[in-house]
């Protein structure tokens, strides 16, 4: 049995691409570095992470980017014997303005060295590149209108100012007339445009309804690429907005691919809500699903009928659900599961010594510049994780430990530090009040000499830290580490991470070693 989502844990905004019998999905990474995750499969059942192309300063530098800024909605395509990747680096997202810079890079192999990018524009986000049959290339993105009033029933619609199209080439950049090709349906918030051609029609897939529980995949078509485009007779191809009890929600934002065997598929963004003390929450963030579609009367429809993508896929093969990771950090490279935040200069945060992962304490967990946080995605609703540390912090200004993290104002941490001359483990949280961002101190417990192992156990909305296998401190609210957790009106687009963190608030770069890390969600 193959179940949705197919890419579990934080993997939103899936761009779907086929090259021969090889399938690729590129997803957003927001403030996590390196940028853009690309997974590969040959059976559409089992997917393997093969590349994060935006891996150097010339391609991406997110220091100073806000939470949920950075890399939004990539578009991966294949043309002229090479891959093309379009991506956005969002420098501001709250308030009237969106400072969203759009780029294109290319490479002959998916896991090769991608070229320094071409800068394209900043008129909006969710850009894509369409390679037409005559060799021309068209750049398409939603347009952001900062002049919205900020209130009233149509305010959100006013911000999303339609889909624009313009010709592009590596030599000339954008050129020729700009075309407003689609204003969207009455659901509004029209974004994530992807064009494809089939049997005399240009088809435009968009996402609508926002990234929450009203999300949807909308389809339109035209005989001419410049439009006008007519909307699908059912308006949406995929959505769960009218099925609040369905186990998979937030369906929207995807891309169509015709399989090598003649079957037809559409990727989509989704989330798996679970009960929490403040209401449903998606601990695993926004994930990637897949649905089989079919053509009827010149339009795409879900093959299973209706608009709700099935939770099970008609594919043969054994899907791997649940994972275990055991790292002793003896290799030369950081294991691929891990990422860090914002900076293209990871050597300032950590080094691989050949026997351990050495963290260099930098700024606080609240920083937008240099945080020594090395973490991996939470992929299921329940898991255990642990890390073994060699650390002797000289004062309360230095610390190292385990962290469950969503963003700078939503995290829990168990930190080895020093208080009144004694080594202790301090349990702290930032509880999601994005305006105040104050720490809550839950407990301080004595820390034994020598190597110690800090762990965390998560089951739904319950989280418990451990020290050398014994519970410490109170049970914490794991639902905080989610899109829905916390207080205030602010964008939340990512997912839960768990990992190790160090800081040195004196600015002197104190170091600590991590000798082992384990993660297991086969519970």
Catalytic residue list contains 370 = yes
- For 82, 86, 127, 256, the CA distances from 77, given in Å and listed in that order, are 8, 9, 12, 12
Q: Write down the pTM of the prediction.
A: 0.96
Domain boundaries, the chain: 2-313, 324-520
Given the residues 370, 379, 380, 484, the one annotated as active site? 370
CATH of domain 324-520: 2.60.120.200
pLDDT in tens, the chain (523 residues): 789 999 999 999 999 999 999 999 999 999 999 999 999 999 999 999 999 999 999 999 999 999 999 999 999 999 999 999 999 999 999 888 999 999 999 999 999 999 999 999 999 999 999 999 999 999 999 999 998 755 544 555 679 999 999 999 999 999 999 999 999 999 999 999 999 999 999 999 999 999 899 999 999 999 999 999 999 999 999 999 999 999 999 999 999 999 999 999 999 999 999 999 988 999 999 999 999 999 999 999 999 999 999 999 999 888 888 889 999 999 999 999 999 999 999 999 999 999 999 999 999 999 999 999 999 999 999 999 999 999 999 999 999 999 999 999 999 999 999 999 999 999 999 988 766 678 889 999 999 999 999 999 999 999 999 999 999 999 999 999 998 988 655 557 899 999 999 999 999 999 999 999 999 998 7
∠ CA(241), CA(246), CA(250), 5° rounding?
45
Contact predicate 15/194, CB 8 Å = yes
Distance from C-alpha of 205 to C-alpha of 191, rounded to nearest angstrom: 9
| Separation CA 484–CA 430 (nearest Å) | 15
Kind of pairing, strands 422-431 and 497-504? Answer: unpaired
CATH number of the domain at 2-313, please? 2.115.10.20
For residues 362 and 262, give the distance between their C-alpha atoms in angstroms, rounded to a whole number.
Answer: 52
């Amino acid at each position: 049995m193959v179940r949705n989502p197919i890419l579990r844990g934080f993997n939103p905004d899936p761009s779907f691409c086929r090259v021969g019998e090889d399938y690729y999905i590129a997803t957003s990474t927001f403030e996590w570095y390196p940028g853009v995750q690309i997974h590969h499969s040959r059976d559409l059942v089992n997917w393997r992470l093969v590349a994060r192309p935006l891996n150097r300063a010339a391609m991406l530098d997110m220091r100073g980017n806000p939470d949920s800024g950075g890399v939004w909605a990539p578009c991966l395509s294949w043309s002229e014997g090479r891959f093309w990747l379009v991506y956005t680096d969002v420098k501001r997202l709250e308030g009237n303005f969106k400072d969203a810079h759009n780029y294109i890079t290319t490479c002959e192999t998916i896991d090769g060295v991608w070229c320094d990018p071409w800068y394209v524009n900043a008129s909006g986000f969710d850009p894509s590149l369409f390679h037409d049959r005559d060799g021309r290339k068209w750049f398409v993105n939603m347009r952001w209108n900062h002049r919205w009033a900020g209130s009233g029933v149509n305010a959100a619609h006013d911000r999303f100012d339609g889909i624009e199209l313009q010709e592009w080439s590596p030599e000339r950049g954008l050129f020729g007339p700009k075309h407003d090709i689609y204003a969207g349906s009455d659901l509004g918030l029209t974004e994530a445009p992807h064009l494809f051609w089939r049997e005399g029609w240009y088809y435009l897939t968009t996402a609508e309804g926002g990234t929450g529980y009203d999300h949807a995949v909308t389809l339109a078509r035209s005989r001419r690429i410049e439009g006008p485009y007519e909307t699908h007779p059912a308006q949406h191809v995929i959505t769960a907005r009218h099925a609040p009890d369905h186990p998979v929600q937030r369906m929207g934002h995807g891309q169509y691919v015709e399989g090598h065997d003649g079957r037809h598929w559409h990727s989509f963004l989704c989330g798996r809500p679970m009960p929490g003390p403040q209401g449903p929450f998606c601990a695993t963030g926004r994930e990637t699903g897949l649905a089989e579609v079919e053509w009827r009367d010149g339009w795409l429809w879900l093959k299973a009928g209706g608009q709700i993508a099935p939770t099970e896929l008609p594919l043969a093969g054994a899907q791997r659900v649940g994972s275990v990771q055991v790292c002793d950090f003896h290799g030369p490279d950081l294991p691929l599961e891990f990422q860090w935040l914002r900076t293209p200069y990871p050597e300032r945060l950590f080094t691989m010594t050949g026997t351990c992962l050495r963290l260099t304490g930098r700024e606080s967990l609240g920083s937008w510049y240099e945080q020594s946080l090395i973490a991996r995605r939470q992929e299921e609703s329940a898991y255990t994780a642990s890390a073994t540390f060699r650390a002797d912090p000289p004062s309360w200004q230095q610390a190292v430990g385990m962290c469950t993290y969503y963003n700078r104002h939503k995290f829990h941490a168990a930190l080895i530090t020093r208080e009144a001359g004694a080594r202790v483990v301090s349990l702290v949280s930032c509880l999601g009040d994005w305006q105040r961002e104050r720490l809550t101190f839950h407990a301080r417990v004595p820390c034994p000499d020598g190597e110690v192992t800090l762990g965390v156990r998560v089951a739904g909305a319950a989280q418990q830290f451990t020290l050398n296998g014994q519970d410490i401190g109170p049970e914490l609210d794991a639902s905080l580490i989610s899109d829905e957790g916390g207080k205030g009106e602010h964008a939340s687009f990512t997912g839960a991470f768990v990992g190790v963190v160090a800081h040195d608030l004196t600015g002197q770069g104190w170091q600590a070693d991590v000798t082992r890390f384990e993660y297991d969600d086969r519970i």
